[in-house]
Structure 1
Amino acid sequence: MDRGIRNGTMTAVPVGVGQRGRQAVAERRPGGSTAGTQGTGAQRIAELEREVRELKRTNETLKQYLSKALDLDTASPGRRDVRVPDTAVDGAPDTAGPPPRSASGAGVEFRVLGPVEAAVGGRWVDLGAPKQRAALVLLVSQVGQPVSVDTLVDALWDGRPPQSAITSLHAYIANLRRALEPHRAPRTPATVLCTRGRGYLLNSQAVEVDAHRFWESATAGWQALDRGDPQRALYAFETGLALWRGEAYAEMAAAPHVAPEAVRLEELRLSVIEGRCATLIAVGSHEMAVPELVAFTQAHPLREYGCELLSLALYRAGRQADALSVLRAHQKRMVEDLGISPSPALQHLELEILRQAPELERS
């Protein structure tokens, strides 16, 4: 059975229908050399009509199948956005949500703010066995910077590489290159995962990393606050925080060569959360900021700026006693657990709350 697509609808054409149809028409022609008897011609026409009915039923079946499997809206032939099912693509593991959409047009996109994932041309790819994934994670954490073979070998085998380590590493790199550049012609230079001296480099011009987008959003948020534009700052902070799906470089966060970058990103994330809450207070959304800051300070009790923001949000929400309670509980924790006094900013805020300073009501 031949299949084709016409006007956005898949059709099925049984093999030989055209030939039998032409024969039936020839048999009905006056004086046709293959006309045969009238009964034979009627039988051919009836057979053709049955095949047409089968064709219609096949079309309906195919339309129903496409509608279910590809979420195709058959009522809108012009629609082009076909949803990729949330199942493995090209052998890749299931992922939460659709592949990311590149804002810069980069063909290869990495998500590291959570379990490490990669998409090529909008399709998830299989990153291979654990050591192969580990090699890629290390390269992604150093995008734009060459990583030596010695560093990769040391990281993959914890400083105790077998004799076959170099051969295995070369195989991992070759596999990753095939995954990241599936349409690259044989024996042509790689443009994504490149060789640099005795090492490898992920080309920053050819890839996009969600950690870099997060940094850009955080920077835009702080700059907007400096300009006195809290609404734009809030949008930038929330855009950046929405990229997080879990611990940065989740499966490799503790690896010695990746840990510094994972720690840096986590510290930046906490600062952006504080910045977002400060912005909520600045725009008058005290009630929204309070529960988020309560959870934040419980998870990170030693971050004094979070404590300061929570006290200010409580005060502006008309909860002066709660605001003082937060400050004094923090002061007690600092003295008893660490033997230090709270920061001058917190001490000043306590005095301002006690005298109900008008300045506390203004951003």
Structure 2
Amino acid sequence: MNSTPTPPEEELKRLYRLLVTVRQLDIAAVRWQRQGIIPGYAPLLGQEAAQVGSGFAVDTALDFVFPTYREMGVARAMNIDMVQYMATHKATWHGGLYDPAATHLAPIQAVVAGSVLHAVGWAHGQTLARHERQPGTGSGVALTYFGDGASSQGDVHEAMNFAAVMKAPVVFFVQNNGWAISVPTAAQVAGGTVAARAAGYGMPSLAVDGNDVVAVLAATRQAVEHCRAGNGPMLIEATTYRLGPHSTSDDPGRYRSLADEQAARSLDPVQRCADLLRTAYGMESDYFASVLADAEAETERVREGLEALEPRPGSDMFTYVFQESTPALQQQEKTWREESEHV
């Protein structure tokens, strides 16, 4: 089942606990959207191993992660406060209420492939600052996420070329979940794989089973080590399957069959990790029941925290546009205050 060496028991148990927690939070987030608690959400059902395994490999003291709008599992693996993360999905605050500088997770990015350019810029900054580091210490590494659909964006190609030329320490992590919204990978990725493109930019790549959390963790650690050592960028393509819709406004039944979804469910990453725990370390039913109960309790705490969030002040839309305001923006704020606050 798994050609990658089995991690120590405690590490594998931590990975499993994260997988179950992320699964429960993801299922609940869809339910919250249906209940009107949050207006929209991009599910990651089926992609838990790709996200938990890669996020678990991050050194949050050194590295910086640049997500899209679907990396809740990465955020949870990095111990981001889930109420603060979900604030974006509640439309309470753009990018999340968590502090990107403190957590080393960039704001949630809704622009397709937009986070890739940001990651390369940050990574190049690490290269420029190498003279400021202590001798013998490696650079921080940027880890950026995008999908098979986003890989066709021009921004990705510019970012990979720049990173390779400048030897920027950045890991390009592609979650190939089979669908660019409603378009299958085979219809929009020439050559069949995104990993094959890395050679065109002179960078190594790894193709990994994105439903195997152990394999994803090992691949990400290898890529991060490669980048930290000053060898330039690296690309990982994790092949998985998006079991749910592209977003809560999507109907996947319009472009794929139920039979395809059921076949993909046989590769369930959470179940695969549970099976490994049973065979490698003899974990029994009471352990799995305890993990599920803890995950459900955390999910309920997140729901309560989300519902308790108050709207942000309307003036924030003017405060955080520019570092120094402009006359035009000041006039807009004055008009807004007169019309909405009657001042």
TM-score range, shorter chain: under 0.3
TM-score for both structures, normalised by structure 2: 0.24
Q: Which of structures 1 and 2 has the larger relative contact order (alpha carbons within 8 angstroms, sep 6+)?
A: 2
Structure 1 or 2, whichever has the larger Rg, is 1
